[in-house]
């Protein structure tokens, strides 16, 4: 695949990624310790990973170091964590950030990094097939981290701490950008969130009480929203046109086409990946361009703001009407339920925080 412009900063861009010309990274070092991240029972039984990049303690440690290290950017001022802040569920609180090395405003909103290991297609348009491939776009894009991969390798190679950690993780202190991507992917697969008050309620655990209006909100959510925000991942891993716009500009390499710019299919124009709603209270603003500042605005869009176009999701076209038929009172109850999806353990977990 080739690099396209206007990718969102720090591992969350939504476009096609450049091919890495290096061979696949080597298997973990023989002495590296395999481990399995803990997964709450209502989410899944285990964390999936590709055979060529299994979890090791050393690989995850290395990925965490890299994720928080500004050496990954051309000016040594930006890390992945600059736009993926733990207290915001690994989002940045900005609609369209201009924090990149060029200072130019990007064209898409930085989504939260939550439960990526289970995602099928990454970025808003599914332009990356796996976590290993998603890093190269933001690393190298001139409006994002602006890094030259060869120079990055040389910088990392010059530091004893990285030569040592790559040796522990991969059995060699020869650093490559492919191994950088693998280590980042291992760490990002540990960004697992499923310990909210809702989760404790589902599992029948202490601390899982939901008030009556929150329960009513959950019932309304299941009735009106769960077809796309499905299962306890709160996403169906698919792409939908949710009626934000009626026309789609071809500017900026047809960025507004969403999934359509990747699939090249007319029926996909205007469709975007269904984001997880976990920690939604912490990850404002909302939508692929950050146009809605609050959950109230999001629900008002679905109530009265849906715009028709050819690819509009059929779920938003019922009985000749556009949108979701909920009252103001029902909207409030749905928001109360959504607030129960906040996972304080996730945003305070020291194993996911800055190691420096």
Do you find a cis peptide bond into 202, omega within 30 degrees of 0?
A: no
pLDDT at residue number 26? 59
Every domain of the chain and the residues it spans: 197-344
Q: How many CA atoms lie within 13 A of 232 on its CB side?
A: 20
How much is the pLDDT for 320? 87
Q: What's the pTM value of the predicted model, to 2 decimals? A: 0.92
Count the residues in the chain: 356
pLDDT tens by residue, 38-73? 999 999 999 999 999 999 999 999 999 999 999 999
pLDDT of residue 30: 72
Residue with tokens 């590709």: 50
First to last CA, the chain: 34
CATH class of residue range 197-344:
mainly alpha
Rounded to a whole number of angstroms, the CA Rg of the chain reads 20
- CA distances to 168, 173, 213 from 165, in Å: 5, 8, 50
Residue 6 has a pLDDT of: 37
Query: What interhelical angle do 177-188 and 149-157 show, nearest 10?
Result: 80
| Series of mean pLDDT values for 10-residue runs along the chain (356 residues) | 38 38 57 91 96 96 98 97 98 97 96 96 94 93 96 97 96 95 98 98 97 98 98 98 97 95 97 98 98 98 97 94 97 98 98 97
With 0-12 CB in 10 A as exposed, 13-18 as middle and 19+ as buried, what is 272?
Answer: buried
């Amino acid at each position: 695949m080739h690099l396209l412009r206007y990718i969102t900063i720090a591992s969350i861009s939504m476009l096609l990624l450049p091919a890495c010309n290096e061979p696949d990274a080597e298997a973990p070092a023989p002495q590296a310790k395999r481990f399995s991240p803990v997964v709450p029972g209502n989410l899944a039984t285990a964390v999936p990973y590709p055979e060529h990049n299994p979890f090791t303690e050393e690989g995850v440690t290395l990925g965490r170091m890299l994720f928080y290290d500004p050496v990954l950017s051309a000016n040594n001022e930006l890390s992945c964590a600059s736009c993926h802040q733990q207290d915001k569920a690994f989002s940045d609180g900005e609609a369209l950030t201009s924090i990149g090395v060029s200072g130019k405003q990007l064209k898409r909103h930085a989504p939260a990094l939550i439960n990526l290991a289970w995602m099928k297609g990454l970025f808003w348009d599914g332009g990356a097939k796996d976590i290993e491939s998603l890093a190269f776009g933001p690393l190298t894009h001139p409006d994002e981290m602006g890094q030259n991969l060869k120079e990055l390798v040389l910088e990392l190679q010059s530091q004893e701490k990285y030569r040592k950690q790559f040796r522990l993780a991969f059995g060699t202190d020869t650093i490559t950008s492919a191994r950088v991507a693998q280590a980042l992917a291992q760490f990002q697969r540990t960004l697992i969130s499923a310990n909210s008050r809702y989760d404790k309620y589902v599992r029948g655990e202490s601390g899982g009480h939901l008030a009556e209006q929150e329960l009513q909100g959950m019932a309304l959510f299941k009735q009106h929203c769960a077809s796309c925000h499905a299962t306890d991942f709160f996403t169906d891993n698919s792409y939908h046109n949710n009626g934000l716009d009626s026309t789609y500009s071809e500017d900026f390499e047809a960025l507004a086409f969403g999934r359509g710019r990747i699939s090249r299919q007319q029926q996909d124009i205007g469709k975007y990946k269904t984001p997880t709603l976990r920690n939604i209270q912490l990850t404002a603003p909302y939508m692929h361009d950050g146009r809605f500042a609050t959950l109230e605005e999001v629900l008002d869009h679905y109530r009265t703001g849906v715009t028709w176009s050819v690819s509009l999701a059929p779920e938003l076209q019922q009985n000749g009407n556009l949108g979701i038929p909920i009252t103001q009172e029902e909207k409030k109850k749905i928001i109360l339920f959504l607030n129960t999806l906040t996972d304080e353990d996730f945003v305070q977990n020291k194993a996911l925080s800055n190691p420096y």
